[in-house]
Chain A
Amino acid sequence: MASKLVEMISEVETRAKEMISEAEKKAEEIINEAKREAENIKENILKEAQVEAEKIWKDILARAETEAKKIVEEAEKQAEKLRTESHMQFEEAVKLIMNIITGGVTS
């Protein structure tokens, strides 16, 4: 009778151990799954960051290039303006050289 009782309790204990073992297995799976998911999340976040960084890079450089183009174009306009506006003074400048080089004879 006593041995029957021991056997019965032992069976239940085995089942209990199995339950715990299953739970440990499940826990390990949960953690491994979380680790895999964490890797994916990290990868996705970093991928998105790379895309965003690339976009920011392109935007900043595009803006700079547009501004640079504007600066150079403005300078070209200014150079052309110099040429046009100095037309009247050109003659005066030539006369100045002539006058100095000839010792003040030309006017």
Chain B
Amino acid sequence: MSADVEKIQKIIIKDAKEKAEGIVSKAREKAQKILDEAKEEAKKEAEEIINKKKAEAESQARRILSEAKLEARLKILNAKEQLISEVFEEAIKRLKEFSQSTQYKTALENLIKDAAMIIGGGELEILFPENTNVDLDLTRISSEVEKQTRKSTSFTISKDRIKSIGGVIVRSKDQLLTVDNTFEARLERLREQLRVNIANLLFKT
């Protein structure tokens, strides 16, 4: 009888032991799974963090490069602009000197003729800059204008003087038509075209 009881006791303990081992073993498996999942999840999250940061950095890098390229372009453009401005400044300086030269007379005659042709001849008035002291052959000019416009042309010299470094203003007697052929006005009118020509000269590659 006692042997039977002992047998039962052993069976109960054995079952309990097996069950306990099973519980612990399952817990260990679950624990491993928790760790594995945590690692996997963390790795994914880490990858996302790195990728996001990398994308942000690349975007900022593109911005930095784009700004640098713009700055570079501006530096070159400014250098070109500076050179073009210097050319204009030098030209103005020399035009002032030119108005004291012997060639100035010819220039004035050409500018008067050009203005008169634009107006289309007729009774015209010429305005000179202050301190202009040139002896012009206005009869010859009017005759040339007449030939081209087929309109009787005459010039009178206005007592009014203009502020200019050189050139003339020609206007019709009735003052309805005026052509400003002062150096400054011509420079202003032709500036854009001149800029292109100068740029081509200076920066041709």
Identify B34's interface contact among A19, A31, A103, CB under 8 A.
Answer: A31
The residue on A at minimum CB distance from B72 is A75
The residue on A at minimum CB distance from B106 is A105
- A102 and B91 CA atoms in complex are apart in Å by 11
Contact, CB under 8 Å: B98 / A98: yes
- Number of residue pairs A-B, CB distance < 8 angstroms: 231
* B98: chain A residues within 8 A (beta carbon): 98, 102, 106
Contact, CB under 8 Å: A5 / B69: no
Known A31-B30, A34-B32, A45-B43: A79·B76 in contact at CB below 8 Å: yes
Identify B5's interface contact among A8, A15, A79, CB under 8 A.
Answer: A8
Contact, CB under 8 Å: A16 / B34: no
Interface size on B, residues (CB 8 A): 84
Q: Number of contact residues on A: which range applies?
A: 35 or more
Contact, CB under 8 Å: A93 / B201: yes
* B19: chain A residues within 8 A (beta carbon): 19-20, 23
- In the complex, besides A30-B30, A49-B45, A100-B186, 8 extra interface pairs with C-beta distance below 8 angstroms are A31-B34, A37-B35, A45-B46, A67-B68, A72-B72, A86-B83, A90-B87, A98-B94
User: Can you identify 23 A-B contacts, CB atoms within 8 angstroms?
Assistant: A15-B16, A23-B20, A23-B23, A26-B24, A30-B27, A31-B34, A45-B42, A48-B46, A49-B50, A52-B46, A57-B56, A60-B57, A61-B61, A64-B61, A71-B65, A71-B71, A72-B68, A79-B75, A89-B204, A97-B87, A98-B91, A98-B94, A101-B91
**Interface residues, chain B, with chain A CB atoms under 8 Å away:** 1, 5, 8-9, 12-13, 15-17, 19-21, 23-24, 26-28, 30-32, 34-35, 37-39, 41-43, 45-47, 49-50, 52-54, 56-58, 60-62, 64-65, 67-69, 71-73, 75-76, 78-80, 83, 86-88, 90-91, 94-95, 98, 103-104, 106-107, 110-111, 114, 166-167, 183, 186-187, 190, 194, 197-198, 201-204
